[in-house]
Amino acid sequence: MEVVKIENVTRVYQIGKIETKALRDVNLSMENGEFTALVGPSGSGKTTLLQMIGCLDQPTSGRVFINGNDVTTLNRNQRADMRRGTIGFIFQFFALIPTLTAYENVEMPLLLNGHTPHERKERVMELLKAVDLVERANNRPDQLSGGQQQRIAVARALAPNPKLILADEPTANLDTENGRQVMDLMQRLNKETGVTFVFATHDPRVIGYAKRVVTLQDGKIEKDTKVNGK
């Protein structure tokens, strides 16, 4: 099943009299369970494409389908509902709420989605165990290492059982060892849960984990390669 389908998408940004085409007539589809890297130099369009897939921005022309739904026809509130129920996000700077514990950060999407206290506790503990941080449940982000914070961010992204996880430079603020641990975790969870992962990156270490590498240049897909044996 196609989780993502991009049809003839162009995104133009207008600043004063200056017009910039961030994406140019892009076509792309992704199946359930893929582990895909979007790569390319700064300004190539990979972050813009990630924002389109994440319902964070709308194309100037073309259509975006997420889990079979044409999100270009949705209003702002409907797109927010789509993000909350279908898409998980992992950010470069972790984006944990500093005043909440690790447990509470993972719990937050479940609170927003109206889960019962019992359901929330069961799911949060399951995820803390999956990222090997049960013993850090009551620690705030400033009491965790960068690698631990990103693992909590992965758990939070998975909390509402999304169809799709989007990660923007997920290892950019981590050292080599912590970056490896986070990518090992994401790869394992992809295999165990079947959730589709899409990550924008320029880090060769991260690209090496991908089952598929989509290379962008000047807002166009220059190359789309499936990696054998992944």
Q: Is the dihedral of CA 129, 116, 95, 58 positive or negative?
A: positive
Helices assigned H by DSSP within the chain: 46-53, 76-86, 102-112, 117-130, 146-158, 176-193, 204-207
Segment 176-190 shows an average pLDDT of: 89
Q: Over the chain, what is the mean pLDDT?
A: 91
**pLDDT score, position 75:** 92
Domain that includes residue 69, residue range: 2-226
Query: How many domains is the chain partitioned into structurally?
Result: 1
Q: What percent of the chain has pLDDT over 70?
A: 99
Q: How confident is the model at residue 42 (pLDDT cuts 50, 70, 90)?
A: confident
* Position 62 pLDDT exceeds 80: yes
CATH number for position 49: 3.40.50.300
* Position 149 pLDDT exceeds 90: yes
Q: How confident is the model at residue 15 (pLDDT cuts 50, 70, 90)?
A: confident
Rounded Cα–Cα distance for residues 134 and 185 (Å): 15
**pLDDT score, position 94:** 80
**pLDDT score, position 229:** 59
Q: How confident is the model at residue 172 (pLDDT cuts 50, 70, 90)?
A: confident
SS (H, E, C) 7-45: EEEEEEEEECCEEEEEEEEEEEEEECCCEEEEECCCCCC
How does DSSP classify residue 220?
Answer: E
